[in-house]
Amino acid sequence: MAPPLLNLDGIKLTFGGTPLLDGAALSASAGEKIALVGRNGSGKSTLLKIAAGMIEPQDGEVFRQPSATVRYLPQLPDMEGFATVHAYVEAGLGPADDPHRATYLMEHLGLTGEERPSDLSGGEARRAALARVMAPEPDILLLDEPTNHLDLSVIEWLEEELARTSSAVILISHDRRFLERVSRATVWLDRGQTRRLDRGFAHFEEWRDQVLEEEERDQHKLGRQIVREEHWLRYGVTARRKRNMRRLGELQTMRQRFRNHRGAEGTATMVASDASESGKLVIEAKAIDKSFGDLTVVKGFSTRIQRGDRVGLVGPNGAGKTTLLKMLTGELAPDAGTVRLGVNLEIATLDQKREAVDPQETLAHYLTDGRGENLLVNGEQRHVVSYMKDFLFKPEQARTPVRELSGGERARLLLARVLARPANLLVLDEPTNDLDMETLELLQELVAGFAGTVILVSHDRDFLDRTVTSVIAPEGNGCWIEYAGGYSDMLAQRGGSRLEDRKARSKAEATEASPKAEQPASKSPAKKLSFKQKFALDSLPKKIEAVTASISRLENNIADPSFYERDPVSFQKTIAALDKERTTLAALEEEWLELEMLREEMEG
């Protein structure tokens, strides 16, 4: 193996209380592509800053090859003092670096270079910062959340660019698919220490679970060993005093290890506060238009969103996703066409810019709006500290100012506030930014299982595939089309992304150029149901059976002639529940019938 360009060993750092880094290690050789993963607040960004030389550890060794160049991409780039983006990007070049490389990167990242830093959106600022750190083609490239605020086409381009570069790359990201495609090794920062897997992120979660299971078994064995030693010291055959003292010392050491063991971090508990059920029709848009001057953002778009739908909006930055979202939710009026909102809607919104938070405000004050120590969640009074624990905050953080939170912790705090509000329509604009993998998994479960309706904007392809039932995407000139299924289903219906088109063309050209024996023409593949459609077709009969059984049970209860006289309130609730179940049954049967007819049509 090539000698490391960068090597951190035994790194320790404490900001009071429990050590943030306690013997962490990180090394990278030329050309390595390493994913640095861990929970929010575990110290990933801090370790990356130590690697970049921006923070000095309290203990441990830091080695960088004297001739190696290092570039670090921060989460919040500082562009103060630069008149244009071009000036900012070129300031990152060394004396021997090629200035044309900076121009090439800015062009591919959708920047002219003439933009003023003060006018940049979050996505544009991130692209400018990427151009600055990648332009010198450094030996070591340290990237902290490079995909935040980037649109899908830029993320796909960045995947290709990082795969080609000869730089050693260490990156932090919440984007699973990006990590899977770029990384070739994974470093897990957990409870202050690091473990390394010499395989990409696609293999990380299985390995992590094995490590935690082994750790739990070892801890259990240590506990049993302590019990045996204590029994021997009390009741064993008396031996030489020296031997007894040695074993007593070993027992004390084992006890200390057992007490000092930091168990695996818990998982967040995310539950959206339920509101009363909305009407079956949630949003209906008919031929809506929106223009800003000569720019047409939306033209002739129509859709019907019903209760239980989970709709994803995708597209490049500036395509008008947020504008379309605001029109659908009634926040912005269309220039033409109509938008009709359903009855009994209660909307909870997490917008892209996030609501303004006073950095001096404490977590408890922010969650309760300064109304004491309790908040109402799902109709129940919850103490703010108890509710904070659901989102992995410690009790002592209740009085912590917001300014001291990491980016991921702040994202969890905003989600905690949004999910405490009663809602039957969740509107989430880029909800995955800054979330760690475990919290992201729980958000996926919450969105996929939410009883109401969800509309979300996201550039996270894996998140979209796991959560939404349809995707709305721009086709150019203000035209938007809705596709059934997730992001991958949309690509299949559109014929693939631009990146995949290029790969397919390259492969076809290579095949034509190679002198292979002529092969018979294959039949065009038959259309098939998508994975989600197959899953729904298989699972719907069980759901229909369960709802039918519930209806039968409710009808039996109502048939009791003494029920109304005995408990008129429960009788009315039972009637309402029966109506709801019958509506659900009709919808399930209709969905199953449509899928069954589609299957027969495809197979016929």
Burial class (CB in 10 A: 0-12, 13-18, 19+), 592: middle
HEC string for 187-215: EEEECCEEEEECCCHHHHHHHHHHHHHHH
pLDDT in the model for residue 166:
92
Residue 122's pLDDT is 77
Res 456 pLDDT > 70: yes
pLDDT in tens, 472-504: 999 888 999 999 988 988 888 887 544 444 444
pLDDT computed for residue 328 by the predictor: 93
Percent of the chain at pLDDT exceeding 70: 83
CATH architecture of structural domain 6-205? 3-Layer(aba) Sandwich (3.40)
What's the rounded Cα separation, in Å, for the pair 53 and 66?
Answer: 13
Question: Starting at the edge strand that comes first in sequence, how are the strands of the sheet with 21-28 ordered?
Answer: 21-28, 6-13, 59-64
CATH classification code of 281-494: 3.40.50.300
Mean pLDDT, to the nearest integer, of 186-203?
A: 92
Terminus-to-terminus CA distance in the chain, angstroms?
A: 57
pLDDT surpassing 80 at residue 517: no
Range with the poorest average pLDDT among 136-145, 423-432, 526-535, 575-584? 526-535
Q: Can you give the pLDDT at residue 507?
A: 44
Q: What is the mean pLDDT of residues 514-531?
A: 48
Q: Distance of CA 51 to CAs 58, 65, 183, 421, 493, Å?
A: 14, 12, 18, 41, 44
Residue 552, pLDDT score: 82
* Tokens representing residue 563 in the block: 């029920």
Nearest to residue 587, comparing CAs of 537, 544, 531?
544
User: pLDDT band at residue 232, thresholds of 50, 70 and 90?
Assistant: low
Residue 506 has pLDDT above 60, yes or no: no
pLDDT band at 104 (very low <50, low <70, confident <90, very high): very high
Instruction: Give 123-145 pLDDT, tens digit per residue.
Output: 888 899 999 999 999 999 999 99
The class that CATH gives domain 531-603 is mainly alpha
Residue ranges per structural domain of the chain: 6-205, 218-260, 281-494, 531-603
d(CA 539, CA 536): 5
CA dihedral sign, ordered 124, 131, 85, 100 = negative
**Can you give the pLDDT at residue 238?**
47
What is the overall mean pLDDT for the chain? 82
Domains 6-205 and 281-494 share a fold: yes
Residue 27: in which H helix or E strand, if any? strand 21-28
| Prediction pTM value | 0.63
Residue 35, strand partner residues: 171, 186
> Are the beta carbons of 321 and 457 closer than 8 angstroms?
yes
With 70 as the cut, is the pLDDT of residue 572 above it? yes
Per-residue pLDDT of 531-555, as tens digits, reads: 677 777 778 888 888 888 888 888 8
CA dihedral over 505, 510, 513, 514, signed as positive or negative: negative
Report which of 309, 329, 303, 314 is spatially closest to residue 475, judged by C-alpha positions.
Answer: 314
Separation between Cα atoms, residue 291 and residue 298, nearest integer Å:
7
* Residue 244: per-residue pLDDT: 57
- The three-state secondary structure class of 104 is helix
